[in-house]
Structure 1
Amino acid sequence: MTVKLNIPYGRQDITQDDIDAVIGVLKSDFLTQGPCVPKFEKKISKYCGAKYAVATNSSTSSLHLACLALGLVKGDWLWTSSITFVASANCALYCGAKVDFVDIDPTTYNLCPKALKNKLIKAKELGILPKIVVPVHLSGQSCDMKAIHELSKEYGFKIIEDASHAIGGKYLDKPIGNCEYSDIAVFSFHPVKIITTGEGGIALTNNFELSESMSLLRTHGITRDPKKMTNESDGEWYYQQIKLGFNYRMTDIQAALGMSQLERLDNYISRRHELASRYNNFLKDLPIVIPYQDNSSHSSFHLYIIRLKNEKTHKQVFEYLREKGVIVNLHYIPVHTHPYYQKTKVEFTELKHSEQYYKDAISLPLYPTMTEHQQDLVISTLREALQL
């Protein structure tokens, strides 16, 4: 009898140290807002080389706060990649702004600087330049941030790096998240990401005013700082709501887990690279395209995405792998093709590379606790699927 495999595309790694860290908070006086959150923020900002960090309950919340802090309002435009999770675009809609998409580079699958430049030239002629551009570091490989930053200086847009996949990665030998080429960078700590807080996110910046704005907005727009109040405090109990904010706060329970996970981050990245290298070696003779790695970037390898050279077998290969228990996935369905975005009637520019990517891409299992035996089973099952 053949035993069905159960190999997911991603999986969290929870150790006894993680459990002990969470138990420590559960036994403390603080479960929600306590000392762990600012400690976690400090550790992340130090690791990445950014001045400030604002932890939240999800990376979606972080993206929303980043847009608000940069002043995105009704009538403005935000541009991003269509090959991303919908949150990269939805954050603009939450602000009443409009969304458009830039095609991907067919080699890296990241937002293409050349396509961006061409689109900016046309947008300038029409008077509809974006206020914000959101490059997405797909799979943990950085976009060409230097080129995008140069365009931002010429065309006057702000930059939010959607680095949800990319903590632990590097760009031009510096940690992703240092914000040298952006205004704000956002990480995700969802369970299938590089490290996890259960759910959670964080926004990094080198701008004090942006960090203060995001910190205020994540807590209902409420302040206890007398310097920010419109009148004198009534006493130590006093607080004021000075903006309309949200409950986007991270808890101490989540932050404790995140700090414990952060201790293993570099080891996780090393292991992901080992597994990616094995995939590269054992898949090179198959009729697929393995992930390209640009010399400017050291990917965190959140995902290992292959592309089939014969797109007609895409669904067949995908379903065969899943039927055998290799739980592959597809990251992502192009955002502009979703019914909600189709009904917005925005005239999207040509996104041929994004649409072609969707026809032949598959994310293979990759996570730090994956054994070489499990990986060999994935490889052999993929070989079977390609021979059908």
Structure 2
Amino acid sequence: MIPYGRQDIRQEDVDAVVEVLRSDFLTQGPAVPQFEQAVAEYCGVEHALAVNSATSALHIACLALGLGPGDWLWTSPITFVASANCALYCGAQVDFVDIDPRTYNLCPVALERKLVEAERAGRLPKVVVPVHLCGQPCDLASMHALSQRFGFKIVEDASHAIGGRYKGEPIGNCRYSDITVFSFHPVKIITTAEGGMVTTNDRPLADKMALLRTHGITRDAAQMTHAPDGPWYYQQIELGFNYRMTDLQAALGLSQMRRLDSYIERRHQLARRYDALLEGLPVTTPWQHPDGHSGLHLYVVRVKAGPGTGTHKQVFEALRANGIGVNLHYIPVHTQPYYQRLGFVEGQFPEAERYYAEAISLPMYATLTDEQQSEVVRALQGALSS
């Protein structure tokens, strides 16, 4: 089976983790701040905080921005459910904005239209979470302008996008947002096995998220309600969580960061080769916006059923049967049973549903060989005509 995504673990990664195993610190030692510093420097951002997953990162980002009961968070329906669930964890409500038919990201035109309607109704969002789907940057400048006009905060869900660039600058620098979230799951561009990161240029937000990831506990006398009783003293000043990353994970992430640019370049080589090999087939290949340099976490094609062509489901099943581990990213969140119980119905976000009816994620990872990629294309040709 050729999987749709795969981690690349090399001897230097193993050595980095073994070094931590032989050290005095397995959890909260020097590797975590070193990894945070490496990400902050790469992104050109003031603060980076490592956590145990991107889901945790989204949660504390929303809490730090004060999202709570009576508030609204808007996001894209084409994303993993965590981009929406983070609002529910805070007691807030969720709504969606349909996608752009070319980029598959949250559509800024649809966003503006919905904001105008929401302003009239008195239910503007407190937070908007644009998702850099497949690694392609969203139209952040347009969304930032809308945030200034309508007063919402922006959390970039860049789980697919580390190493990507927008208008020539790194994703994660928070020029157009309050907070950015990264994921380091094994199928992502770099991995810490499980793990995530939040970045921000806002010191109070960074301090708040640092507190929330560690049980709401501080040892900083300046944050305490009274002077410490002694050198052992700490105080819980918020209701926080155990969302910390371990030194083992951070050591792996730090080692992987050294290869990030080469991973992105290889993904772009593979994408260009896919574009050429798929030319003439009845599929729509990904369109890349000129303002962005994608992280290319995913390479999604859209299958157009027609005479002599298998249906979307038939093509997907034929690829799987021939050892190609394709996937579908993602099922529209508003069609999930849980969200339908909240009142969402099919047909609300038609572009997202059209995308879901056609999308297939082909294998895309840095160690995919040209020979394997050619095998994927041959299998796709056969599946389309079978």
| TM-score above 0.5, yes or no | yes
* 2: CA distance, partners of 1:257 / 1:350: 42
1:122 aligns with 2:120: no
Q: Which one of 135, 140, 159 corresponds to residue 135 of structure 2?
A: 140
CA distance in 1, matches of 2:347, 2:114: 8
Determine if contact 2:335/2:344 at 8 Å carries over to the other structure: no
What pairs with 1:83-162 in structure 2 (closer than 5 Å)? 83-162=78-157
Pair 1:286-2:284 in alignment: no
Q: Please report how far the alpha carbon of residue 349 of structure 1 lies from its aligned counterpart in structure 2 after TM superposition.
A: 8.4
Q: Which residue of 1 aligns with 2:211?
A: 216
Q: Which range moved further: 323-332 or 338-347?
A: 338-347
Measure the CA separation in 2 of the matches of 1:285 and 1:380: 13
Tell me the CA shift for residue 310 of structure 1.
Answer: 1.4
2:5 counterpart of 1:16: no
Residue 81 (structure 1) aligns with: 76
The match for 2:366 among 355, 365, 368 is: 368
- Matched-pair contact (CA < 8 Å) for 2:20–2:26: yes
- Mapping 1:26-105, distance limit 5 Å: 26-105=21-100
**1:349, 1:52 → 2: CA distance?**
41
Q: Whole-Å Cα distance in 1 between the matches of residues 198 and 346 of structure 2?
A: 28
Match of 1:335 in 2: 333
The alignment status of 1:236 with 2:231, answered yes or no, reads yes
1:300 aligns with 2:292: no
Aligned residue number for residue 359 of structure 1? 357
Q: CA deviation at 1:309?
A: 1.6
For residues 260-315 of structure 1, give each alpha carbon's deviation from its aligned partner in whole angstroms, at most 9, with x where no partner exists: 00000000000000000000001011000000000000001000000012187100
CA distance in 2, matches of 1:368, 1:287: 26
Matches within 5 A, 1:372-383: 372-383=370-381
Provide the rounded CA distance (Å) in 2 between the counterparts of 1:371 and 1:347: 42
CA distance in 2, matches of 1:126, 1:252: 48
Q: Which residue number in structure 2 is paired with residue 251 of structure 1?
A: 246
Alignment deviations for residues 166-187 of structure 1 (CA, whole Å, 9 cap, x no partner): 0000000000000000000000
1:294-343 deviations in whole A, cap 9, x for unaligned? 00000010000000121871000000000111000000000000000000
SS of structure 2 residue aligned to 1:161: strand
Shift of 1:75: 1.1
- AA paired with 2:209? M
Write the deviation string for residues 328-361 of structure 1: whole angstroms up to 9, x where unpaired. 0000000000000000125798311001000000
Aligned residues: 383
CA contact (8 A) 1:12 1:196 kept: yes
Task: Say if 2:184 is the partner of 1:189.
Answer: yes
Would the aligned equivalents of 2:335 and 2:345 in 1 still touch at CA under 8 Å?
no
Partners of 2:84 and 2:279 in 1: how far apart? 35
Matched AA of 1:78 = L
Assess if the C-alpha contact under 8 Å between 1:178 and 1:205 holds in 2.
yes
Report the equivalent of 1:3.
Answer: none
Q: 1 CA distance for matches of 2:145 and 2:295?
A: 25
Residue identity matched to 1:372: D
* 1:39-71 Cα deviation digits (max 9, x unpaired): 110110100011001100000000000000000
Q: Judge conservation of contact 2:167–2:292 (CA < 8 Å) in 1.
A: yes
> 5+ unaligned residues in a row in structure 1: which ranges?
1-5
Tell me the distance in 2 between the aligned counterparts of 1:310 and 1:352: 18
Residue 199 of structure 2 corresponds to 204
Q: Which amino acid aligns with 1:378?
A: V
Alignment match, 1:345: 343
CA distance in 1, matches of 2:98, 2:58: 21
Aligned-partner SS, 1:368 = coil
The one-letter code matched in structure 2 to 1:61 is S
Deviations 1:61-114 (A, max 9, x none): 000000000000011000000000000000000000000000000000000000
Computed over aligned residues only, the root mean square deviation of the Cα atoms, in angstroms, reads 1.0
Please state whether the residue corresponding to 2:91 is helix, strand or coil: coil
| Amino acid in the other structure paired with 1:333 | I
| CA distance, structure 1, for counterparts of residue 345 and residue 227 of structure 2 | 51
Structure 2 unaligned residues grouped into runs of 5+? none
Provide the C-alpha distance between the structure 2 equivalents of 1:66 and 1:224, rounded to a whole number of angstroms: 22
SS at match of 1:186: strand
Give the partner amino acid of 2:334. Answer: H
Write the distance in 2 (CA, Å) between the matches of 1:20 and 1:270: 25
Identity %: 64
Which residue is equivalent to 2:384?
Answer: 386
Runs (4+) of structure 1 exceeding 3 A deviation are: 346-350
User: Are 2:155 and 2:177, in contact at CA under 8 Å, matched by a contact in 1?
Assistant: yes
